Amino acid sequence: MPKVLLLDEPSGGLSPRFVEEIASTVSALKRAGTTMLMVEQNLGLAFKVADRFIILRDGAVIDGGAVAALKGSHEDIVRSIYL
């Protein structure tokens, strides 16, 4: 089992079924103690499996923190990215 795993867009170009498989695999690795750094545009996947997040826009941090603090919704994050 790897100690550290870097993931760059693991859901890129995949169907929703395979995105769920990626989420399941990442969650299993997390439970096994693997530390991961994931770059991901699919916020649904990212917030499903992450403990913490950082949002970048044009190379600058515009938001970040604990996923649990989002209280189950990431709509405000999406607004801050795209509006």
The count of residues in the chain is: 83
Mean local confidence (pLDDT), 12-19: 94
Q: Two tokens at 46?
A: 């990212």
| Superfamily per CATH, domain 4-82 | P-loop containing nucleotide triphosphate hydrolases (3.40.50.300)
Q: Burial letters for 7-28: b for 16+ Cβ neighbours within 10 Å, e otherwise?
A: beebbeeeeeeebeebbeebee
**How many whole angstroms separate alpha carbon 74 and alpha carbon 83?**
14
pLDDT, tens digit (0-9, with 9 covering 90-100), for 51-68: 999 988 889 998 888 988
Judge whether 11 and 37 are in contact, CB under 8 Å: no
pTM, two decimals, is 0.79
| CA–CA separation, 43 and 50 (whole Å) | 10
Handedness of CA 52, 70, 75, 58 (dihedral sign): negative
Find out whether 3 and 35 touch, Cβ atoms under 8 Å. Answer: yes
